[in-house]
Every structure is written in structure tokens, then in C-alpha cells.
Amino acid sequence: MNLVADVRPTEYEASAVSPAKIRINDLRKEFRAKAGKAFVALDGISVDIDAGTFFVIVGPSGCGKTTLLRILGGLEAPSSGSAVIRQSQPDKPLNSMVFQGDSIFPWMTVWDNAAYGLTLRNVPKGEIRDIVGHYLERTHLTKFAHAYPHQLSGGMRQRVSIARAFANDPEVLLMDEPFSALDEQNKTILQQELLRIWEEHKKTVLFITHSVDEAVTLGDKIMVMTAHPGRAKAVIDVPFARPRSVLELRSTPEYGELVYRIWGYLREEVQQARAEADGEK
């Protein structure tokens, strides 16, 4: 049985029939380094992501994953090329980010944090109550609705961040290593919860991680990135059926095979990234 459906090269042509939800075309991002020299964070990235896809990007630390997400989130401008999200519902926000690290406002209660996007858009009060109530329930935070972030654990704060992004009802969700700071147990639980919430509407998700396990558990497609400068090394289909149970999936041999295969792509990149880091010392 061939589990890995196809491995596509970097120059991968999108089907012209249905336009992609996210289209990244020859994207390049440079930062100005100290000595006036340009530091290339991303180079020649082209990928199309279809609507409803749970798309995961894996890559070694510092390969430009966050930079790519920030460009899509409108927080950074590309140096050349483009990264666009196709808008299909003009009354909805294009994207919402779940940031790497703590990003919920310490000065707002859990409820106000989750309601942030809707409040900014002046959504009617009753509607906000329903939507926020729903997502707090899905993230098991109903009891903590009126607590402040400093009264929560790290895992709970990350749940608030996820509830905030989902409640905003964007066309695309951009998630930047939302679970990387959590312990193994919390991580597994939150991955399962995320899958369950995502199944409700199957929005397009761009999910970043440096955990291969997490990528295979969650994704429909996985893009492996090269270490500096960040390029797309391969895009791999994940054939596992949905809805998925995290623990059951992980006990299958097919899961292990795919993880091993992706590690194959990643290994040399991680080694290169580490060699570079050592070289800087």
C-alpha cells in the first residue's frame, strides 16, 4: 500500500480549474542585517492551498515559518513575489492568527479576549454572546470566562488564543506553533480539541510546527521547508481519514511510516540549521 500519495517538487503548478484559497507565488523576504547586508529569510516559495485544507508547514527553527505567516497575516510585506488569500465572503475577516507565544491581552478577561475580533467589528451583542459562548465551551473555558489570563495555566491561555481566532470567524486561520510551549499531555489533548473544532466548519488552516508528529496528526498536506534560506522542499499528502482520533492514529503502522518519511526530508535541514548556528558562535 502506498501511503504517501505524492511528493511534489517545489515548482508545483496549481490546477487552473478551481482557484486556490491561498496562493503563494515566488515569495521572497529579506531583512536588512546589521552590516547593511540583506538576510534572506524566505526565497522562491510557491504553493497553492485549496479551500478547506488543513495545511501544515514543518521546518527547522529559524527557517522563516513565522515570517511566512506574518506576511499572510498582513503584518509584514514581501520583498518580492506575492502571498494572497482569495476573499469569498466580503463581510468576513480574511484571516486570524494564533501567535507563537503568549498573545492574549492580560488586561481582558477570557471572555473579552475571545470576543475581541467580533467586538472590533461591532457585531450585535446577542450574536457575540452565542459565538463566544460556543467557542469557550468547545475549548472548555466556560467556567473561566471571567478570569484574567494571569489566573490561567499556559495551556488554558493557548486555548483562549485559539477561541479568539475561531470566534472571529475568518476565512483562513493562521496558526503559529500554538502548542509548542506545552507539555506532551496538554499538547495531545489540545490537538484533539483543535481537530474537533476544526471539523465543525473545515475552514482553510495554515498551521506551523516543528514537530513532525504534530504535522502528521493534524494535516491534510505537509510542506517541508529548507533551513536558511527558507524554501519549499516538498509537499506531502496525508491520506488518513477524518475525523481522526489522535491516539488511535498514532498507534497505526502507517502513521509511523509517514513520520519516518518526513523525517527523511527534514533531517539534513535540521543538521544544516544546527551547523549554521554552531558556525555563528
Partner 1 sequence: MTTIQRMQWRVRVAQSWSLTLRRLTTIQPAKRDRLIGLLSPFVLMLLWEWAARAGLIDIRFFPAPSQIFGTFVKMAEDGTLWANTWASLQRLFWGALLGGIPALVLGVAMGLFRPLRAAIDPLVALTYPIPKSAILPLILLIFGLGEASKIVMVAIGVFYPICINATAGVLEINKIYLDVGRNFRATRWQTFRTVALPGALPFIMSGLKLGVGMGLILIAIAEMIGAKSGLGFMIWNAWEILAVEMMYIGLIMVALIGYLFNMLLTELEQVLIPWKADK
Ligand X SMILES: Nc1ncnc2c1ncn2[C@@H]1O[C@H](COP(=O)(O)OP(=O)(O)OP(=O)(O)O)[C@@H](O)[C@H]1O
User: Which of residues 46 and 66 has its CB atom nearest to Mg ion in the complex?
Assistant: 66
97 binds, among partner 1, Mg ion, ligand X, none (CB under 5 to 8 A by kind): partner 1
Contact residues toward ligand X (CB under 6 A) are 31, 39, 41, 59, 61-67, 100, 210
99 binds, among partner 1, Mg ion, ligand X, none (CB under 5 to 8 A by kind): partner 1
CA distance 219 to 45: 19
CA distance 53 to 59: 19
96 binds, among partner 1, Mg ion, ligand X, none (CB under 5 to 8 A by kind): partner 1
Q: How far is the CB of 220 from partner 1 (least distance, A)?
A: 24
Contact residues toward Mg ion (CB under 5 A) are 66, 100
Phi, psi of 249 (to 5 degrees): -55, -40
210 binds, among Mg ion, partner 1, ligand X, none (CB under 5 to 8 A by kind): ligand X
User: Which of residues 115 and 218 has its CB atom nearest to Mg ion in the complex?
Assistant: 218
Parallel, antiparallel, or unpaired for β 232-237 and 54-58?
unpaired
CA distance 245 to 218: 10
64 binds, among ligand X, partner 1, Mg ion, none (CB under 5 to 8 A by kind): ligand X
User: Which of residues 138 and 157 has its CB atom nearest to Mg ion in the complex?
Assistant: 157
Phi, psi of 43 (to 5 degrees): -145, 125
User: Which of residues 64 and 229 has its CB atom nearest to partner 1 in the complex?
Assistant: 64
The length of the chain is 281
Q: How far is the CB of 211 from ligand X (least distance, A)?
A: 11
Q: Among 141, 154, 142, 144, which residue's Cα sits nearest to residue 187?
A: 154
User: Which of residues 132 and 225 has its CB atom nearest to ligand X in the complex?
Assistant: 225
31 binds, among Mg ion, partner 1, ligand X, none (CB under 5 to 8 A by kind): ligand X
Q: What angle do CA 216, 233, 61 make, to 5 degrees?
A: 70
Q: How far is the CB of 216 from ligand X (least distance, A)?
A: 18
CA distance 136 to 187: 18
User: Which of residues 44 and 93 has its CB atom nearest to partner 1 in the complex?
Assistant: 93
Q: Are 61 and 273 in contact (CB under 8 A)?
A: yes
Contact residues toward partner 1 (CB under 8 A) are 70, 73-75, 93, 95-97, 99, 101-103, 105-108, 116-117, 120-121, 148-150, 168
Parallel, antiparallel, or unpaired for β 95-98 and 172-176?
parallel
Give Cβ neighbours of residue 62 (< 8 Å, ≥ 6 apart): 227, 228, 273, 277
**Which residue is closest to ligand X by CB?**
66
CA distance 73 to 204: 14
102 binds, among partner 1, Mg ion, ligand X, none (CB under 5 to 8 A by kind): partner 1
User: Which of residues 66 and 204 has its CB atom nearest to ligand X in the complex?
Assistant: 66
Strand pairing partners for 252?
Answer: none
Strand pairing partners for 24?
Answer: 47, 83
